[in-house]
Structure 1
């Protein structure tokens, strides 16, 4: 059971940088940077956003694995079209932000840079991340988690599901906390540009959505037997980056990531303590004390 949990944990970590959707991780981090306005609660917001993204991701995978697994054979050839559609929608959202507009959604702030402060928005972003990743990352999830559940091992399946979610959340939390710690300097520089802050987030969404749509088109070309898809320069470059990230995560393993996460949290707490403003001076108490000493 320990080996199975470790395998599920590692699969969740690698699921965060799968070939189909890994471009959405820097897009999410760019939104996290743009959503900053001050240093207060930076770590809490980063962890909350990471948790929201992870919840959206694993809920989509869980729903697909449990409810749609019997239809997986019919759905899998059609997943590239879903990837293309999602990529196009992200491109449209990126263009919308580049134009200085805000994304219409109830409860969001009137300013686009505050997109990441909303827990529902991060859950939706995680769901989009998962939808883009289904074609590449659903097979390990089905093999590790859903097989246990369908075999009647409910307790083991739930434990494996939790381990997978923890692995995914661990990678996202480390990245989000790292951004939170360097964010103040970035935001201070970006604030000089003023209106460029939401537009930079829009640019990142545009690039990420473009890659996601292109990857879906690449999968469709492969399914059609087109050999030119094997030499696609965009996919080759992105694949090298993705493999480097996956190899680094696989080599580090959960213990190293947990140690990095703990170090980042301790660093953030230390920075917060060092920058804590001094307690306000009560001038009335000082004056009363002096009067008492004078008597």
Structure 2
């Protein structure tokens, strides 16, 4: 496998995380890591961020894989109807935000049990969120995915296509993972401040869901209008597009190596913080007057 296609697949996956159709969903995902009901330590928060990122990446990659391989022969016809899903999905997301703003919880997909993890941050929910993220992003990202990954499968190189597919998913996971780790490491500082807001804190997540859902739905409506008139202009989409292009340009300039190094650095910081915490607890336990540790 040549290095160039592999680098292209990895870079395309990174840019897929901040594509014009679905990049607004990334803040909504990160808010789930911040606005939880508990206050875990940094190491626990980092572990949750990594597992949630993995689940979300799996859902994202699975949707792209199914669509790319199964729908590729009629991708052009299916792509014409994708804006309708984007519009409906955005409307549902906005409705969920309104529900949270009203002080009500989102309905769970499983029965609520005592001490059970919140459904909004469970691995199946994160995988479904990743699949929804991918579906909202299909209209903007399916063309490079088909050109880079699916073409390798169609050329008869199943192994090569699988390598490119994994690289594409890894690129997306790198970007989401770096953002998730950064949020997890700063969560212990942000959460106490949010706690002071009391009942307002959960509603911040609802307001973010409402804004994100409204944007996604608006983007789906914009895509439908563009199908009828390619010259259609929209100030909301133009403004958001400028932000998205800045993010995409920054990721493109950084490259996979820099993002991977950033993830490694964040993990190293987590290990150092965890070791420092253990050392501090050991010193306090050895201080005069401290309770004796059981033998």
TM over 0.5: yes
Q: How does 1:1-295 map to 2 (within 5 A)?
A: 1-35=2-36, 37-39=39-41, 40-107=43-110, 114-225=118-229, 227=231, 229-230=232-233, 232-276=234-278, 278-279=281-282, 280=285, 283=292
Give the CA deviation at 1:283.
3.3
Work out whether residues 32 and 121 of structure 2, in 8 Å CA contact, stay in contact via their aligned partners in 1: no
Work out whether residues 82 and 139 of structure 2, in 8 Å CA contact, stay in contact via their aligned partners in 1: yes
Equivalenced residue count is 283
Give the CA deviation at 1:197.
2.4
Counterpart CA distance in 2 for 1:108 and 1:176 is 28
Counterpart CA distance in 2 for 1:165 and 1:104 is 30
Counterpart CA distance in 1 for 2:80 and 2:293 is 76
* 1:285/1:94 CA distance change after superposition, 3 Å: closer
Give the CA deviation at 1:225.
1.2
Work out whether residues 190 and 197 of structure 1, in 8 Å CA contact, stay in contact via their aligned partners in 2: yes
Per the alignment, residue 293 of structure 1 pairs with none
Which runs of 5 or more residues in structure 1 are unaligned? 287-295
Per the alignment, residue 290 of structure 1 pairs with none
Counterpart CA distance in 1 for 2:221 and 2:183 is 32
Q: Report the 3-state secondary structure (helix = DSSP H, G, I; strand = E; otherwise coil) of the residue aligned with 2:196.
A: helix
Give the CA deviation at 1:285.
7.7
In our comparison, the structure showing a higher alpha carbon Rg is 1
With the length of structure 2 as denominator, give the TM-score of the two structures: 0.91
Q: Report the 3-state secondary structure (helix = DSSP H, G, I; strand = E; otherwise coil) of the residue aligned with 2:186.
A: helix
CA RMSD of aligned residues (A): 2.0
With the length of structure 1 as denominator, give the TM-score of the two structures: 0.91
Per the alignment, residue 291 of structure 1 pairs with none
Counterpart CA distance in 2 for 1:208 and 1:226 is 24
Which runs of 5 or more residues in structure 2 are unaligned? none
